[in-house]
């Protein structure tokens, strides 16, 4: 997630790193759980979690929370989608969605970047 630039000068100042000139929160998770995300987001977000790219925290948070709740409500369904190669799993996917939803609540005007 990226903080919006200053509306006056365009500068980005970090609360997390005094030496940085931009404010950013980053995480990474395997694309192997993409089928879980597509299922959990359903029709609310085209392309699963990638459909959140460019949205603000305030727009993303309800979608992330709904996907998280969908996965929480039916763990057997999503655990059956664990990648056969062992890269990623239901619990890691839940942790990622929870982290992103939390960040979106903390920073509603920041922009989510998903690639």
28 — pLDDT class (breaks 50, 70, 90): confident
Q: How far is CA 45 from CA 32, 51, 78, in A?
A: 18, 5, 18
Question: What is the tens place of the pLDDT at every residue in 30-77?
Answer: 889 999 999 999 877 778 898 999 999 999 999 999 999 999 999 999
CB atoms under 10 Å from CB of 61, counted, come to 22
Q: Is the pLDDT of residue 14 over 50?
A: no
CB-based contact 60:104 (threshold 8 Å) = yes
15 phi and psi angles, rounded to 5 deg = -85, -15
Domain with 67 in it: 1-115
- 28 burial via Cβ count (<10 Å: 0-12, 13-18, 19+): exposed
pTM, two decimal places: 0.79
Tell me how far apart the alpha carbons of residues 23 and 11 are, in angstroms, rounded to a whole number.
Answer: 10
Overall domain count for the chain: 1
CB-based contact 36:71 (threshold 8 Å) = yes
- pLDDT at site 33: 94
- pLDDT at site 53: 92
């Amino acid at each position: 997630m990226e903080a919006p630039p200053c509306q006056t000068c365009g500068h980005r100042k970090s609360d997390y790193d005094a030496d940085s000139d931009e404010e950013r929160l980053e995480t990474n998770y395997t694309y192997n759980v993409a089928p879980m995300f597509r299922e959990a987001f359903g029709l609310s977000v085209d392309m699963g979690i990638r459909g959140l790219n460019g949205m603000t925290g305030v727009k993303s948070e309800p979608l992330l929370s709904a996907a998280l709740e969908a996965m929480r409500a039916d763990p057997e369904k999503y655990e059956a989608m664990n990648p056969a190669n062992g890269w990623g799993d239901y619990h890691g996917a839940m942790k990622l969605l929870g982290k992103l939803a939390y960040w979106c609540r903390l920073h509603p005007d920041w922009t989510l970047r998903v690639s």
